Amino acid sequence: MKQFANGYCMYCRRVLLLLLFVSPCALYAQREKLPPQDLIWVEENFPSAKKSNTGIRYLVLESGSGEKAKRGDKVSLVYIGRLINGETFDQQIDPQKPFTFLLGRGKVIQGWDQIIKLMRPGDKWLVIIPPELAYGTRGSSPKIPPDATLVFTMQLVAVAPM
């Protein structure tokens, strides 16, 4: 191998150059937030689910229209919340009496504040929220155990700018 004045061969220089370009990408790679057993379940049951930049998985079931919801907007939605085992822990399904709150104000779990910003009025999504963006290690007794991945079917009924 041909060596340069500084002692590096051409091959070594190429490897070092490659590492310089790949390393920053690896540093920004997001770690998986779903527990391993839940990730397997999600990949088996919802292989086409998209992943948000914060680790939330979602499937678009119906598409709405209009402007996306943003922080501070008053949003109204109907939903069914389930555990991975299919057990329903909460729901608000009457479109005449939707669940309403101000988005991004910490009134709901982090996963909701994050994913609803991607939705438009009328969107109906299946959303899979990792434990750390839901109730984490503490859970929400008695219905949600610690470290629970939550599965929501949710439809954004309305968005009102505030």
Read off the pLDDT of residues 86-114 as tens digits, 9 standing for 90 and up: 999 999 999 999 999 999 999 999 999 99
The verdict on 63 and 6 lying in the same domain is no
The verdict on 130 and 103 lying in the same domain is yes
Q: Assess whether 135 carries a catalytic annotation.
A: yes
The verdict on 25 and 65 lying in the same domain is no
Catalytic option among 109, 128, 129, 144: 109
Q: For position 96, which CATH number holds?
A: 3.10.50.40
What pLDDT score was predicted for residue 27?
39
Read off the pLDDT of residues 107-135 as tens digits, 9 standing for 90 and up: 999 999 999 999 999 999 999 999 999 99
> Do residues 115 and 151 make contact, with C-beta atoms less than 8 angstroms apart?
no
What pLDDT score was predicted for residue 31?
78
Mean pLDDT score across all residues of the chain: 87
The verdict on 65 and 99 lying in the same domain is yes
pLDDT exceeds cutoff 50 at 24:
no
Q: Residue 30: pLDDT band by 50, 70, 90 thresholds?
A: low
Q: Assess whether 4 carries a catalytic annotation.
A: no
* Domain boundaries, position 89: 36-160
The verdict on 13 and 93 lying in the same domain is no
pLDDT exceeds cutoff 60 at 147:
yes
- Residue carrying structure tokens 């005449």: 96
Q: Assess whether 89 carries a catalytic annotation.
A: yes
User: What one-character-per-residue DSSP string does 85-134 give?
Assistant: TS-EEEEE--TTS-EEEETTSSSS-HHHHHHGGG--TT-EEEEEE-GGGT
Q: Cα(70)–Cα(124) distance, rounded to whole angstroms? A: 17
- pTM of the entire predicted model: 0.80
The verdict on 67 and 133 lying in the same domain is yes
The verdict on 85 and 15 lying in the same domain is no
The verdict on 57 and 25 lying in the same domain is no
Q: In the chain, how many domains are there?
A: 2
